[in-house]
Structure formats: C-alpha cells, structure tokens
Amino acid sequence: MPIPVRLRVNDTDREHVIEPRVLLVHYLRDLCGLTGTHVGCETGICGACTVLVDGQAVKSCTLFAVQADGASVTTIEGVGNGHLHPVQQGFWDCHGLQCGYCTPGMIMASIHLLAQNPSPTRAEIAEGLRGNLCRCTGYSHIIDAVAQASAAGEVARG
Ligand code: FES
Ligand code: FES
C-alpha cells in the first residue's frame, strides 16, 4: 500500500506517496528527476548511486526511500550551487573521469571523505573510496582529483 514519504532533497522539501518497495535511488531518479545519481548494479557493490543522507555517504540502492523519511538528501545536482564544487573541479582538472558513469557517486563519496578527513593521504583516499568502482581510470587520476580538492583547503559540503 502506498505511503507518504517526506524528504529534503538538495534543499527542497519533497513529499510523495509511494510504494514502500521503492528504492531511494529510483525515488531520486524517477520521482525527483535527479538522474545524475546512477544505477550500476542495484546490489550495493559499485557505488554509482552514492548520495549523502544527513551528511553520510549512502549507496541509495541499498535503502528504501521510506527508510529515509525525514532525512536531508544531497545528490550530485545539489553540490555545486551554480559553480563547480572543489571536488568536481579536481575531477575536471586532473582528468578523474573517462566514461563518467561512476563519477557522480565517486564525487559524493569523495565529498563525504573530505568532510571526515580534510587532509587525507593518498592511501586514505584510496581506502575511503574503496566502495566505489571505476572500470576506466585506474583510480590514479581520481586520487589526484581528491588530493587537489583537499589541497585547495575548502570545506566540502555535506
Ligand atoms: Fe547502488 Fe551499484 S547501483 S551500489
Ligand atoms: Fe568510467 Fe569510472 S570513468 S567507470
């Protein structure tokens, strides 16, 4: 039976009546139109669907939308405020993407990582992003991107 769910998504209050089985990733993509959150596996492995839920990095295919009722959710569309977020700038400058499929989730996980540890070592960046898979880049440029954002010294938004 459909039930109401209220979330704050990218600083906008949303209310929908949905089936309890709807995953958060499908709520964001299909009901909110936020298709920057990608679906790579739907089994919690690839990290392409990573968003922030109350500031925590969450794979949104592992959560029903109703489980996030009342939470504040940030997607890739919500991080820039009309300009590139420092982590996005890092990916741009350091060629941290190729096909780009993993990139939104990788950036959201990186923002969470820098919120937890503003000055990570390269090993800590690699460890922090271990739940996000990339088939293209070999990860080195992704680590460069996060290191650049860290060096910029700007507080990552969570
Ligand atoms: Fe969610 Fe792969 S689509 S972890
Ligand atoms: Fe293609 Fe990461 S850039 S999967």
pLDDT 10s digits, 78-91: 999 889 999 999 99
Tokens 């293209």 locate to: 136
Q: Which of the listed residues 77, 110, 141 is the one where a domain comes to its end?
A: 77
If asked whether residues 60 and 122 sit together in one domain, one would say no
Q: Render 75-109 in DSSP notation, one character per residue.
A: -GGGSSTTS--HHHHHHHHTT--SS-SSHHHHHHH
CA 56 to ligand 1 center in whole angstroms = 16
Same domain, 97 and 151: yes
At 80, give phi and psi (nearest 5°). Answer: -95, -30
56-59 and 12-18 as β-strands: parallel, antiparallel, unpaired? unpaired
What CATH number is given to the structural domain containing 66? 3.10.20.30
| pTM of structure | 0.95
* Cα(3)–Cα(158) distance, integer angstroms: 28
Please state, in angstroms and rounded to a whole number, the distance separating the CA atoms of residues 72 and 140: 32
Do residues 128 and 66 share a domain?
A: no
- Contact 59 CB / ligand 1 (< 6 Å): yes
Range of the domain at 148: 86-157
Ligand nearest to the CA of 98: 2
State which of 39, 103, 129 you would mutate to test the pocket of ligand 2, scoring each by most atoms of that ligand within 8 A of its C-beta: 103
pLDDT tens column, 30-72: 999 999 999 999 999 999 999 999 999 999 999 999 999 999 9
| 95 C-beta closer than 6 A to ligand 2 | no
- Answer whether 57 contacts ligand 1 (Cβ < 6 A): no
Q: What is the CATH number of the domain that holds 101?
A: 1.10.150.120
The domain total for the chain is: 2
